Structure 1
Amino acid sequence: MKARRHVLQLPAKIGLILVGLSFFSCNVLKRVEPDELLLTDFEVIADSAKVSDETVNSLVAQKPNSKLLGIPLKLHLYNLAKPNPDSSYQAWLYRKEGRYERLEALLSDKQVSRLGESFLVAGLSNWLKKAGEAPVVIDSARTEKTLERLQAYYKTKGYFNNTGTYHFDSTGNQRATVRYSLELGEPYLIDTLTFEIASPEIDSILRLHRKESLVHQGDQFDLERFTRERERLTQLFRNSGIWNFQESSITYDILRDTLPSHDDQLMDVELNIDNPRSRAEGEQDRPYRVHRLDSVNIFAGITPGTPPEELEKLSYEDFTIFYRGTLDYKPKALTDAVFLRKGNVYRDLDRIRTYRQINNLNTFRYPNIQLVETGEDQLVSNIYLSPRPSNSLNLDFDVTHSNIQRIGIGLGASLITRNVFGGAETLSLSGRGTFGLLSDESLPEDFFTEITADINLTFPRIWGLPFVNDQKIIPNYMLPQTRVSLGTSFQKNIGLDKQTFNSILSYNWTPNDFSRNILELLNVQFVRNLNPDRYYNVYQSSYEQLDEQADPFQDDPALQEFFQPTDNPDDPLRLIIPEGTTGFTEAVLTGGLVPGDSDTFTQVFRIEERRQRLTENDLIFATNYTFVENNKENINDNNFHQFRWRLESAGNLLSLASRVIPFIENERGQGLVFGVPYSQYVKTELEYIKHWQLPGSNVLAFRSFVGIAVPYGNADNIPFVRSYFAGGANDNRAWFPYSLGPGSTRNINDFNEANFKLAFNLEHRFPLFGDLRGALFADVGNIWNVWDRETDPDAIFQGFRSLEDIALGTGFGLRYDFSFFVFRADLGFKTYNPAEIPGERWFRDYNFANSVLQIGINYPF
């Protein structure tokens, strides 16, 4: 009946929407003069085919007002503003005799004038104009300009004889579209390609790399390709010893016959590379020559202009290191960061890599690299390194409030020490404490604390792996780093109170600008639950399920000590935590209270299994590798993809050790280390993100994620900290975190998690006003259990038929760009809910009452 009622309400809602749309459509001409036409659309036709290329459409000088869901919302905002609020105010002020005098007597002459500048009088109209868009009225001059742009563009593509026209098509009262029609004709082709090279050495380099050219005989003329060829040649020459090569030295001579009467669409192209012009008047131009590095000098802590005779110097390999007083750095640490080598042909690539690696040391500021020509073919490279402060201290303070914290105060400090051992190592010590009051007054204590401390040591090289120290495997230009980290945290709040110890030995390197590798050779984490007896105080869902199973046994005299009276007449007795919950569980599972094949036994067994899992201490001894590829070129690039693959294995080293030295085992046969069963599993994840730039600053973003963690050997489940959950601001936004799944189950636990996850997201992002953007999104996915000790069939992935349990959430959101971060608010609606019974899963909770508001920082993917 509920679903039927929603369906009956749809026509009424649609009717209201149509009425609103008709109102808006009548209002768009409010600021259009009677002799003007509102531009509603445009199209470019080339050789009778519509052009959808964004590059071509961007040449159009006049485009219609932007629309949201087909409605020119910004135009309506502009129309709401008063055209001349100052004049309207003055007219109102003097329309009634004596009005000005009365206001002046009540306020003052100055205040009466400022009233006309107030937000309600003028400010609101000014804001509406700024946030909105003035009606786009067809301008013939701009239309002519667009046609000229289009014809010029197609000439750059070889259509030198193209012709074009435009005309207006009426689409209703004072509305029209503009159609640009072009006849391109036949494109011009490159008939011959010749070369005129002034420098013999440039000519030799060019001949060696002729096959890499982007311009070939028989190609259609394309000015963009010629431009890219000039850029390629400039880069080629600068990486082949021509350190001072200028792109302006490259020109093209093009001979063509553009008379329409000629059918010969061929052209002759000559590539010219001139010598650099001499700066001195009367001096003859010198040809470009290949230069080699005569010497490479490193000035550690020295500014340019300091006379070398005032400095100490040290020769190390092929470098000369200058310093004042005492050299604070190991010579190898400095020379490994420099890729300019004595005797080598100069390459711009080596200079760029030197900049990057010196920055990677985190010990020096941006370096100053000077090249000095000492002969016709010799260079001296002087590299000036300005050190950062040896020590820096950062302090932070914040006040927080949340649904579980009335107030929290955070204090943090971090100390960074650079060049610890003289090899540009960085040591970081950090600590943080958060203290405050809890919101849950039912707890015996309302004070919480969270204290963390970390030590991080970073080496700007691969350390501890002799077999990869060879530069042929991970050379220094890949920015290698080694990180050793130790940390601990102590948490006392509404949970079980945890103490965590972690240790990490990791390596990362960057083969190129678009990919990164991270290897955590050792990732050890020990999680200790300090108050496991508080489990049922924290996980209320589990407690409610156990208490429900105990209700039929409230009158059993042997179990009376497990219950306590309540003020609720519908539930007069409840299990005591923890004595009653523990006693009842033992009576069912080991005391023979119910048969082993009964539903009560099964349900209590599942509840106890989860309690043991979430309250037992975890020891994770893992190794993982992550590969990330991202071809995004800059912050404004909205046509890119990102791929991430991660593989993690835990417990194998301890498993091998147990074969040499047998470990003590618990009652379940699990090997114990320091009294804790160690985790053993393999886990892998694949994530792919793709963004498409659409017309009008619109962006289509897609994300896919697949992850699975399989326990084996010493474990039959995945630790909670390594499991998957669904829902939340960066996942399926129609559900809160941990509230979706697993499978078709419905809120069976306070924190639902599993070891297999599928997630797919699609989001259309579009501009609204200024820095405010909107989004429409669809989120698909769920979590399941697979190959672990879960026994609930609704939570287990059982092949393709389980895909019907994938949830769908749709909604809309707003994003405001503060430049340094994006504030995001998304409203998600449960479109397809697998927790409902089949046949009632679609749109059952699709309403504002059951929607979920998610707040986040930056884009979800």
Structure 2
Amino acid sequence: MKKNHKIAVKLLVTIGAILVVSSCSNTRFLEEGQQLYTGSKLSVEGDSLSKKEKSDLKSQLESTIIPKPNSSFLGLRPRLYIYNIAKEPKKEKGLWYWLKYKVGEKPVLLGDVDIEFNKDILVNYSENRGYFNAKAASDTISKNKKTEVRYNLKPNARYYISQINFPSDTSAIVNQEIVKTKDKTLLKPNQPFDLDVIKSERERIDTRLKEKGFYYFHPDNIIIQADSTVSKNHKVELFVKLKNNTPQEAKEQFTIENVIVFPNYNIRNSRKESIQIPMKTDSLTKYAYKDYFVIDPKKTFKPSIFDRALYFEKGDLYNRADHNLSLNRLINLGVFKFVKNNFVLTDSINHKFDAYYLLTPRDFQSLRFEVLGRTNSANYGGGELNLNWTNRNIFKGAEQLKMALYGAFDVQLGGPKNANNIFRAGFNSQLSIPRIIAPFRFNSSSAFVPRTNVNIGYEYQNRTKLYTLHNFNTSFGYTWKENAKKEHDLKIFDATLVFPEKVTDEYNEQIYFPDGSIKNPSLKRVVDKQLIFGPTYSYTYTTTMLPKKNTFYYRGMVDLAANITGLISGANVKKDNQKEIFKIPYSQYAKMEHDFRFYHKISEKSSFATRFIGGIAYPYGNSEFVPFSKQFFVGGSNSIRAFRARTLGPGSYDPRTQDASFYFDQSGDIKLELNAEYRANLFSFLNLAVFADAGNIWLVNDDPDKPGGKFSKDFMSEIAVGAGIGLRFDFSIMVLRLDLAMPLRVPYYEKGDRWAFDKIDFSDKDWRKDNLILNIAIGYPF
């Protein structure tokens, strides 16, 4: 311990020395006449502007000044120092290249700053925001080979919109449609003049016209003129007009003549393909399918998939929504690598064109082999082999068939021979069909193709010296997305059958007393035959893909096992009226879970993330307990990180009282969990996190083998709390996460003594071993 302490002290001293040296020695690497650019300062002056206007304008303008100076930490520039001291690499790879150009940072010099350009940017930006006739000045402050540039901006009073005028000449159809859009205009009287809003208004009009058949229209065909002479008191009048040089075809509405699909188009060898565009209608006749022409001589695809994916039909007025919708649905079929769309004018008099869809298929089949290794904190090590095969067009209708074979083992490292090791093997297959197969009609105008999913799987699990389990599962259901934010997953039927084999005498001795009565119901339930079936439904709503400061994620799930079957049969385990199917009692319960996450972006390099999980599983009718596999668990790398996986709870139950040779996962019927995490980018691929986790699980009913496990009004006193720090190595293709956590509140300690602040002792080797939990994982915890 002393040796490690000395190493840590030396490391801290070395890092401190580097930081101190870097603060004063970076300028010695500069050549004669060079000045290190340390940044800029901007001041905004003007009696006609309010204090808030000055502050808002200044904050907007500061981000436009370029370049940015070298990054600093507490006034120091360690990355610049690393660049300066690292030798020039001979190749664009290797340790020295990584250290100099990835960790280090090239110096930003005064010569890199175009001061006049920045002044022009400040003036132009101000005028684009309505501060007309602005003026900018600059000065430089130099000391010890370091230079700061100071800018001074003097804008005049801001101009506001007095009124907006749309085209008065509505003889042309395009002008009529422009006038019809004015109720949704972004330009409002008494709002500040803003060039960005004007550009958005032009794009809004263009979007509306694209929905009305004006395929060749462009935002640049619109001009919005500002006249400040017709009004006083810093007001401008806006005139929305169609440019005089707008091409005639941009003023016309177009309709679809033919829809032609090439599902085997090779984009890389398109010149070698015998595809003539446009094609003569006579040559298309033999490829007709409903209102489409599908050019697929090899019959690679069923034409019906294009009927469901494409939203254009013969005679339709062109609109951008159906254009994008068709492309997105073709992409979401998952069977095409490239999707290209062409509109070819065939009748300029009647304003008609043909729509061509040129589709390049992906490789239909793929085979992937994976080898994984792992260890955990319970001194177990193991590995896993996975063989995955995928066919993306198994029945020529873009149906995806995925099949997987796997085998895995976890053995006790350094333990006795034939210890409580775990061996698993199994297979899983999933057929995903790009449509809803049901006795009812399901219409979806979403860009995402709805799917019918069928799953079948089996797993063999052997715990040496304990038992062997066989697990069969199957499901049938649907997934569909309303849009990019909302997704539904409904399994009409989801069934699991578990039955044991070779339960050892050693394990049975822990379950039963010598007279045959049950000693440990919890262990018995693990090897009981189980039949679980019923519908499940989950709903997901997320905005995390949007470039917003605040984003959300929510997932809710409902699982109803045998609710109708149990009600019809009158099952009631408490009245000795437990029902069976195939001589196996079926499980009856209702389960609900909610996962809510909130992400707040503090700056470009830091953010704050929180998560709340709440769930309950309630057994009734044919069941006294919720099946072990359907219960809740906490602890581990993606949960409460200060406690090892599945070792916490339920309630105030103390897992240390268990027989160490039969240490089983702790589970519960109720779950509450709250996580909070501050994330910051240190540099490049290295990120830092500071986090806190809280929560626990509880039982709905009393369990004599788990004293303190039932949920009660004192549940708040049984909340576990942990905190820690972490490093995340973001390598783009994957994120490697290291989280070091320690418990701050332990629910199975004596009531009144559960907070553990007074027990923290980093110098104690035994305390560190028992309380510092290192979690190694892939990806973020939430």
Scaled by the length of structure 1, the TM-score of the pair is 0.75
Given residue 609 of structure 2, which amino acid in structure 1 is its aligned partner? A
Q: Distance in 2 between matches of 1:134 and 1:360?
A: 43
Q: Distance in 2 between matches of 1:447 and 1:742?
A: 25
The reply to whether residue 626 of structure 1 matches residue 538 of structure 2 is yes
User: Deviation per CA, 1:385-444, whole angstroms, max 9, x where unpaired?
Assistant: 45555x524141425353576664625142526251x54433333333447976465353
Partner of 2:81: 79
Q: Distance in 1 between matches of 2:615 and 2:57?
A: 38
The reply to whether residue 724 of structure 1 matches residue 698 of structure 2 is no
User: Deviation per CA, 1:240-275, whole angstroms, max 9, x where unpaired?
Assistant: 1111222221222222369xxx97211122222237
Please tell me whether the aligned partners of residues 446 and 483 of structure 2 are also in contact (alpha carbons under 8 angstroms). no
| DSSP-derived class of the 1:516 partner | strand
Partner of 1:211: 183
Please tell me whether the aligned partners of residues 514 and 630 of structure 1 are also in contact (alpha carbons under 8 angstroms). yes
Shift of 1:810: 2.0
| DSSP-derived class of the 1:490 partner | strand
Shift of 1:507: 0.6
Q: Specify which of 668, 671, 689 is matched with residue 757 of structure 1.
A: 671
Q: Distance in 1 between matches of 2:473 and 2:437?
A: 20
Output aligned runs, 1:529-568, within 5 Å: 529-533=500-504
The reply to whether residue 703 of structure 1 matches residue 611 of structure 2 is yes
Q: Distance in 2 between matches of 1:828 and 1:845?
A: 15
Q: Specify which of 431, 446, 450 is matched with residue 480 of structure 1.
A: 450
Q: Specify which of 730, 745, 752 is matched with residue 817 of structure 1.
A: 730
Please tell me whether the aligned partners of residues 82 and 125 of structure 1 are also in contact (alpha carbons under 8 angstroms). no
| DSSP-derived class of the 1:240 partner | coil
Shift of 1:531: 4.2
Residues 217, 613 of structure 1: alpha-carbon distance in 2 compared, 3 angstrom cutoff: same
Please tell me whether the aligned partners of residues 533 and 561 of structure 2 are also in contact (alpha carbons under 8 angstroms). yes
User: Deviation per CA, 1:725-745, whole angstroms, max 9, x where unpaired?
Assistant: 112111122222112333333
Please tell me whether the aligned partners of residues 483 and 506 of structure 1 are also in contact (alpha carbons under 8 angstroms). yes
Output aligned runs, 1:171-250, within 5 Å: 186-196=157-167, 200-250=172-222
Q: Distance in 2 between matches of 1:118 and 1:331?
A: 54
Please tell me whether the aligned partners of residues 684 and 708 of structure 1 are also in contact (alpha carbons under 8 angstroms). yes
Deviates more, 1:53-62 or 1:610-619: 53-62
Residues 832, 271 of structure 1: alpha-carbon distance in 2 compared, 3 angstrom cutoff: same
Shift of 1:126: 8.2
Please tell me whether the aligned partners of residues 217 and 250 of structure 2 are also in contact (alpha carbons under 8 angstroms). no
The reply to whether residue 852 of structure 1 matches residue 760 of structure 2 is no
Please tell me whether the aligned partners of residues 511 and 524 of structure 2 are also in contact (alpha carbons under 8 angstroms). no
Q: Specify which of 741, 763, 775 is matched with residue 828 of structure 1.
A: 741
Shift of 1:750: 3.6
Q: Specify which of 461, 477, 490 is matched with residue 506 of structure 1.
A: 477
Deviates more, 1:286-295 or 1:147-156: 147-156
Q: Distance in 1 between matches of 2:731 and 2:112?
A: 38
Output aligned runs, 1:6-85, within 5 Å: 24=19, 28-32=23-27, 39=38, 47-48=50-51, 50=55, 55-61=60-66, 66=71, 70=74, 72=76, 75-79=77-81, 83=85
Shift of 1:524: 0.7
Q: Distance in 1 between matches of 2:184 and 2:317?
A: 21
The reply to whether residue 651 of structure 1 matches residue 580 of structure 2 is no
Given residue 425 of structure 1, which amino acid in structure 2 is its aligned partner? E
Partner of 1:784: 698
After superposition, the CA RMSD in angstroms is: 4.2
The reply to whether residue 428 of structure 1 matches residue 406 of structure 2 is no
| DSSP-derived class of the 2:565 partner | helix
Please tell me whether the aligned partners of residues 424 and 459 of structure 2 are also in contact (alpha carbons under 8 angstroms). yes
Please tell me whether the aligned partners of residues 43 and 58 of structure 2 are also in contact (alpha carbons under 8 angstroms). no
Shift of 1:630: 1.9
Q: Distance in 1 between matches of 2:340 and 2:98?
A: 49
The reply to whether residue 333 of structure 1 matches residue 305 of structure 2 is yes
Q: Distance in 2 between matches of 1:58 and 1:649?
A: 54
The reply to whether residue 808 of structure 1 matches residue 721 of structure 2 is yes
Residues 729, 408 of structure 1: alpha-carbon distance in 2 compared, 3 angstrom cutoff: closer
Q: Distance in 2 between matches of 1:694 and 1:846?
A: 32
Residues 82, 63 of structure 1: alpha-carbon distance in 2 compared, 3 angstrom cutoff: closer
Q: Distance in 1 between matches of 2:580 and 2:488?
A: 33
Partner of 1:266: 235
Q: Distance in 2 between matches of 1:671 and 1:709?
A: 20
Given residue 216 of structure 1, which amino acid in structure 2 is its aligned partner? K
The reply to whether residue 462 of structure 1 matches residue 425 of structure 2 is no
Shift of 1:723: 1.5
Deviates more, 1:17-26 or 1:482-491: 17-26
Residues 531, 41 of structure 1: alpha-carbon distance in 2 compared, 3 angstrom cutoff: farther
Shift of 1:505: 0.8
Q: Distance in 2 between matches of 1:419 and 1:652?
A: 36
Deviates more, 1:578-587 or 1:313-322: 578-587
Partner of 1:416: 391
Please tell me whether the aligned partners of residues 829 and 846 of structure 1 are also in contact (alpha carbons under 8 angstroms). no
Q: Specify which of 472, 487, 490 is matched with residue 460 of structure 2.
A: 490
Larger Rg: 1
Please tell me whether the aligned partners of residues 831 and 845 of structure 1 are also in contact (alpha carbons under 8 angstroms). no
User: Deviation per CA, 1:537-586, whole angstroms, max 9, x where unpaired?
Assistant: xxxxxxxxxxxxxxxxxxxxxxxxxxxxxxxxxxxxxxxx3465355475
Q: Distance in 1 between matches of 2:745 and 2:390?
A: 50
Partner of 2:588: 680
Given residue 193 of structure 2, which amino acid in structure 1 is its aligned partner? F
| DSSP-derived class of the 2:757 partner | strand
Deviates more, 1:331-340 or 1:836-845: 836-845
Residues 531, 30 of structure 1: alpha-carbon distance in 2 compared, 3 angstrom cutoff: farther
| DSSP-derived class of the 1:512 partner | coil
Shift of 1:690: 2.4
Structure 2 regions of 5+ residues with no counterpart?
1-7, 266-272, 657-662, 763-767
Output aligned runs, 1:249-648, within 5 Å: 249-256=221-228, 264-274=233-243, 285-286=248-249, 288-301=251-264, 304-305=275-276, 313-324=286-297, 327=299, 329-373=301-345, 374-376=347-349, 377-388=351-362, 392-398=365-371, 400-402=373-375, 408=383, 410-416=385-391, 418-420=393-395, 422-434=396-408, 439=413, 441-444=415-418, 449-464=423-438, 466-467=439-440, 469-471=441-443, 474-475=444-445, 477-494=447-464, 496-533=467-504, 577-578=506-507, 580-582=509-511, 584=513, 586=515, 608-633=520-545, 639-648=550-559
Q: Distance in 2 between matches of 1:316 and 1:582?
A: 67
Deviates more, 1:831-840 or 1:331-340: 831-840
Please tell me whether the aligned partners of residues 485 and 504 of structure 1 are also in contact (alpha carbons under 8 angstroms). yes
Please tell me whether the aligned partners of residues 701 and 764 of structure 1 are also in contact (alpha carbons under 8 angstroms). yes
Shift of 1:680: 1.7
Shift of 1:77: 5.0
Q: Distance in 1 between matches of 2:98 and 2:428?
A: 52
Q: Distance in 2 between matches of 1:368 and 1:675?
A: 57
Deviates more, 1:373-382 or 1:195-204: 195-204
| DSSP-derived class of the 2:556 partner | strand
Scaled by the length of structure 2, the TM-score of the pair is 0.81
Given residue 560 of structure 2, which amino acid in structure 1 is its aligned partner? S
Q: Distance in 1 between matches of 2:218 and 2:260?
A: 26
Residues 761, 502 of structure 1: alpha-carbon distance in 2 compared, 3 angstrom cutoff: same
Q: Distance in 1 between matches of 2:60 and 2:137?
A: 19
| DSSP-derived class of the 2:25 partner | coil
Shift of 1:519: 0.9
Given residue 626 of structure 2, which amino acid in structure 1 is its aligned partner? I
Shift of 1:457: 2.1
Given residue 785 of structure 1, which amino acid in structure 2 is its aligned partner? L
